[in-house]
Amino acid sequence: MSLFDLSGRVAVITGGNGGIGLGYAQGLAAQGCTVSIWGRNETKNAAALATITKAGGKGEARVCDVSDPASVKQAMAAVVDKYGRVDGCFANAGIGGGGRRPFIDRTEQEWRTMFATNLDGVFHVFQAAARHMTERAAKGDKFGRLVATSSMASLFGTAQNEHYAATKSAINAMIRALGVEQARYGITANAILPGWIKSEMTAGAMANDKFVGNVMPRIPMRRFGDPEDFSGIAVYLMSKASSYHTADLFVIDGGYSAF
């Protein structure tokens, strides 16, 4: 199990105060990783950190808006100053489609807002993390993990949600490129594509009987995913076990896309 021992490692998880992001944080902390939970809601951040520490983990929480480059730079600098390093960056913060709307009625502002958080936010966070990681690599400390939360919407046709799907497809392409570019520094880059997972973002859909009736029969596992289902993949991607695994897209959907 030493392959998965994360003692001494530090990871940033954006949107780590709930849902899949908290699942990542819980898995990492359980293996000894120090976690820095970033989110815009200070109350949710504190609650998430309490969950981590109550289970014996260690870390901190910071208010950060990933769509704001200055906010990201400040937060990343603060984490490095406090812990001396950032070994992993899980870019998980994102927003949903905000209600389906025909493409021809999509407003310019809705399009820009989606990209500002879901794509530009990943750019801001990964750039800050990669800069620090490559600087460490130049000093002989080659190690880094970049992990983005993408979506199955990047693979399927998502009618009336094109702006969301476009951001996630762009993330997939970014990950492949980063995996190639950053390999020389010992940095891997991978994306996770969740299926239907219980979270605040999906709560409305999962409370709709018609939606559940249509979707559940297509999930071979016959259940929606839980945030805890993402703890293990976070540990693997953060650990030495994944040192030669990069530029990949991990589909975690209970078999939905295969059926």
- What are the catalytic residues? 164
Contact 258, 220 (CB under 8 A): yes
Q: For the residues of 122-157, what is the DSSP string, one character each?
A: HHHHHHHHHHHHHHHHHTT---EEEEEE--GGGTS-
Among 124, 234, 235, 246, which residue's Cα sits nearest to residue 185? 246
CA–CA separation, 150 and 74 (whole Å): 25
Using left for φ > 0, alpha for ψ between -120 and 50, and beta otherwise, residue 86 falls in beta
- Orientation angle between helical segments 69-83 and 120-138, nearest 10 degrees: 30
CA–CA separation, 148 and 119 (whole Å): 10
Residues 6+ apart with CB under 8 A from 128: 72, 73, 76
Helical segments of the chain, H only: 19-30, 42-54, 69-83, 108-118, 120-138, 162-182, 203-206, 209-215, 231-238
Neighbours of 220 (CB within 10 A): 12
Among 187, 235, 229, 226, which residue's Cα sits nearest to residue 32? 235
Residues 6+ apart with CB under 8 A from 200: 18, 19
